[in-house]
Structure 1
Amino acid sequence: MAVITQYVVQHKGVDKLVTTNKKEADQYDKMLEVADNISLYLQAKGVDLDESVSEELSILMAKNKDSLGKILRGTSVDKLLEQESADVVEMKKA
């Protein structure tokens, strides 16, 4: 019989990630914390979004914080997407 250690990352009572890699779990947990802070910041600045849209947007921003930093420093979106060969994300209207 094998013993397997699993790390479970929960967010608002929901299992978001189950992994055997502690570093991966810690990174994902940190990303969720950043996303929560982004969501709170947007709310504090008067941005009124549906909760699910706010969560989705905040997680997207947290996952792509390095790219957003480049955009804030003046890199064009076209150049950035070309460099990343990124998928274009379409936001749903609430």
Structure 2
Amino acid sequence: MAVVAVWKCDRDGAMFDNKKDAEEHDKMLELAANITALIERNVEGVSEEASEEIGLMLAKRREVLAKACKGKPEELLAAEEVSEQQEAETAEENVTPLAVNQ
């Protein structure tokens, strides 16, 4: 029997096969939580669910958001188009063909 080391994120239970990826994911979730708290404190009428979704979306796109804040606002929309294409390609790759006559 083989032993496989995995790292589990306490915040959401996500599992990773290396410490670096686990720590990066944890930092992203911490940023998302802080953005969520900022939204909830400063924007009236936003539901908790909506503010969490916004916080997570901004945290996942933090590199592109930083570029936009440094004078390249077009990066936000360009990154969104690339992200949509990658998600579509990934969805196609994750489809397992059905086995016939097994």
TM-score calculated relative to the size of structure 1: 0.72
Does the CA contact (< 8 Å) of 2:64 and 2:75 recur in 1? Answer: no
CA RMSD in angstroms, aligned pairs only: 2.4
Instruction: Please list every run of at least 4 consecutive aligned residues from structure 1 whose deviation after the TM superposition is greater than 4 angstroms.
Output: none
Match of 2:51 in 1: 54
Match of 1:72 in 2: 69
TM-superposition CA deviations, 1:33-89 (whole Å, max 9, x none): 00001111112213432222211111110111111112222313268507x73328x
**Among residues 32, 37, 40, which one is paired with 1:40 in the alignment?**
37
Go from structure 1 to structure 2 and tell me whether the alpha carbon gap of 1:79 and 1:29 turns closer, same or farther (over 3 Å shift): closer
Alignment: residue pair count: 84
Moved more, 57-66 or 46-55: 46-55
Does the CA contact (< 8 Å) of 1:7 and 1:22 recur in 2? Answer: yes
TM-score calculated relative to the size of structure 2: 0.67
CA drift of 1:10 comes to: 3.0
Match of 2:2 in 1: 2
Query: Larger radius of gyration, structure 1 or 2?
Result: 2
Correspondence 1:27 to 2:24: yes
Does the CA contact (< 8 Å) of 2:32 and 2:55 recur in 1? Answer: yes
Unaligned runs of 5+ in 1: 89-94
Does the CA contact (< 8 Å) of 1:67 and 1:80 recur in 2? Answer: no
Q: Which has the higher contact order (CA 8 A, sep 6+)?
A: 1
Unaligned runs of 5+ in 2: 86-102
